[in-house]
Amino acid sequence: MKRLALAALALVAAGGVAMQASAWGNTGHRLIGVAAVRGLPDELPAFLRTPGAAAEVGELAREPDRTKGGGQPHDRERDTAHFVDMNENGRIMNDQGLSIDALPRLKSEYDAALAATGIEVDDAGYLPYAIMDGYQQLVRDFATWRVLNAAEARERDPGKRAWYREDRLRREALILRDMGYLGHYVGDGSQPHHTTIHYNGWNRDTPNPQGFTTSRQTHGAFEGAFTARVARLDTVEAAMAAPALDGFDLRLRVPAYLRTTLAQVTPFYVLEKAGGFADTDARGGAFVTARLAAGASELRDLYILAWRDSGDDAIGWPAVKVDEVEAGTADPWLAMYGED
């Protein structure tokens, strides 16, 4: 509970400024979502490749922060999805914790493994599982949309065709929402403070030979007000990496992504100590741009990969294969509409 308690204290100290308890602030999350959608290739559905869709995902990427404060159990289960606290070796919390490269299949197994070493699950966070869960949900969304879209195009019965259309439009709204939610957690994973035990100033319970700041204002000041001042969509898009889509394995990709961000923790503190986050110093802006671009690049890739994975999926009950419906060799009516 230490991380959550410190976030609350920082919020009070800042006079209730919400950015102190968030991940990237509103600007960062918006930019990551918008840049990722604007980078989608033509193979994805046309309804996603519009300015309106990009803006919608950018807004919905803020939603996991905006829904905080509902009480328990709502908040505790969701708040710990925004981070995973690793030490410099990539182990959760300390050297007795799990390695980010050897995560159990289920979150319940992760919780049990942490508890067995005396680590509080609420302190550790479970960001990798939030990203994996969001990806898998999006695959199901896309699979459902593909079936509905193909069935609508072929259906000759006017009543069934109308229902397919209505359900396709419902699914498009859900897809945008779920893209936003996945975007939030992928965005959190690009912010170094969301991958480290040094999440708000260097951890005061660990050695600090380089004399890095221990200020409890470090986290919020960086991702909130500073990012809002220096971040721009055009520079983020220009810094995005080329798509990396080959050899995809979700359970390997997510830890590797978070390790890459973890490697930026010490560079952040070195830069902060050198005054790099003063408004007149270009180094701070470059650091922000690089981190936002990393998040947008990863998010764009996960959107593309989820779309591709959905083509091999089966959906509904009784289940129908997406490729068979798209080929016109399977009728999905009962799978989609249902048979009581």
Mean pLDDT to the nearest integer, 317-322: 96
Residue that has been written with the tokens 């509902």 in this structure:
70
What 3-state DSSP class applies to 321?
Answer: strand
C-alpha pair distances (Å), 51 with each of 73, 147, 178, 258 = 37, 25, 18, 29
| Amino acid at residue number 223 | E
CA contacts within 13 A on the Cβ side of 62:
15
Residue that has been written with the tokens 């299949």 in this structure:
105
- The torsion of the CA quartet 236, 240, 290, 37, rounded to 10 degrees, works out to 50
Mean pLDDT to the nearest integer, 307-319: 97
CA contacts within 13 A on the Cβ side of 271:
19
- Reply yes or no on whether the pLDDT at 76 is more than 90: no
Interior angle at CA 324, CA 319 and CA 328, nearest 5: 120
- Reply yes or no on whether the pLDDT at 201 is more than 70: yes
Cα first-last separation, the chain: 46
- State how far the Cα of 86 lies from the Cα of 257, in Å rounded to an integer: 13
The sign one gets for the Cα dihedral 242, 58, 219, 277 is: positive
Mean pLDDT to the nearest integer, 166-171: 98
pLDDT of residue 1: 52
pLDDT of residue 77: 83
* Main-chain dihedrals φ then ψ at residue 147, nearest 5 degrees: -65, -45
- Reply yes or no on whether the pLDDT at 5 is more than 60: no
Confidence tier at 16 by pLDDT (50, 70, 90): very low
H helical segments located in 191-249:
218-220, 227-230, 233-239
- Reply yes or no on whether the pLDDT at 209 is more than 50: yes
Q: Enumerate the domain spans of the chain.
A: 2-79+127-246+261-337
- State how far the Cα of 104 lies from the Cα of 98, in Å rounded to an integer: 9
pLDDT of residue 257: 98
pLDDT tens-place string over residues 84-107: 999 999 999 999 999 999 999 999
| Amino acid at residue number 73 | P
C-alpha pair distances (Å), 69 with each of 4, 44, 74, 184, 268 = 12, 36, 8, 17, 30
The per-residue DSSP string of 209-224 comes to: TT-----TTHHHIIII
- State how far the Cα of 142 lies from the Cα of 300, in Å rounded to an integer: 15
From the DSSP assignment, how many helices (H) and strands (E) are in the chain?
17, 2
- Reply yes or no on whether the pLDDT at 13 is more than 70: no
Mean pLDDT to the nearest integer, 300-304: 98
- Reply yes or no on whether the pLDDT at 10 is more than 50: no
- Reply yes or no on whether the pLDDT at 8 is more than 50: no
